[in-house]
Amino acid sequence: MVDFGGWDMPVQYSGVLDEHQVKLRARHLPGNSTLMMIRLKEVERPGFSARRIGKLKVTFILHTGETGKAFGSITANDLAERLKQELSRDIDRHLLVLEHPIKTTGEHEVPLKLHHGVTAKFKFNVKSSEEPKLEAPAEESADKSRGPRKHTK
């Protein structure tokens, strides 16, 4: 390499790849360092997404009757659509490991396989569209219908 106006110029120019290798050796980097950095970024992205998915607080509304019985269910397609809304990127429904559609209320956790060796846990809450009506015990309702008690000695 020869200094030419502040630029390192090769004395004998043999090609772009050789020049690239000389520059990499001058910086003490291995020859395929650029490819290694690209591969690291690819692996970090699913990990970053897994952390974002793990932090999500999502609630689904499940249509139920008065007794609490579900009329429908929450499928992998519903989960993928909701993740698409929350993360602003497409999530394939086949990445969700859902054994059967969700028909119960409460907290649920579904694994999401983002990459080989990277699995996110998507936690969400399912609430009923109607609160189940609880019937009052018969004794209390009978006492209220009688009116106040009179105390006798």
Domain spans in the chain, listed from the N-terminal domain onward: 45-128
How far, in Å, are 5, 76, 97, 110 from residue 125 at the CA level?
66, 15, 17, 11
* pLDDT given at position 100: 92
* pLDDT given at position 137: 53
Q: Give the integer Cα–Cα distance in Å for 132 and 124.
A: 21
* pLDDT given at position 75: 93
Q: Give the integer Cα–Cα distance in Å for 66 and 132.
A: 5
Q: In this structure, what is the dihedral angle of CA atoms 90, 95, 100, 106, given to the nearest 10 degrees?
A: -60
Q: Which segments of the chain have a pLDDT < 50?
A: 29-31, 38-44
Q: The domain 45-128 is classified under which CATH number: 3.90.226.10, 3.40.50.300, 3.10.430.100, 3.30.1330.40?
A: 3.10.430.100
* pLDDT given at position 20: 73
* pLDDT given at position 49: 76
The angle, 0 to 180 degrees and rounded to 10, between the axes of the packed helices 76-87 and 33-55 is: 110
pLDDT in tens, 25-61: 666 544 455 555 544 444 446 666 788 888 889 999 9
* pLDDT given at position 11: 66
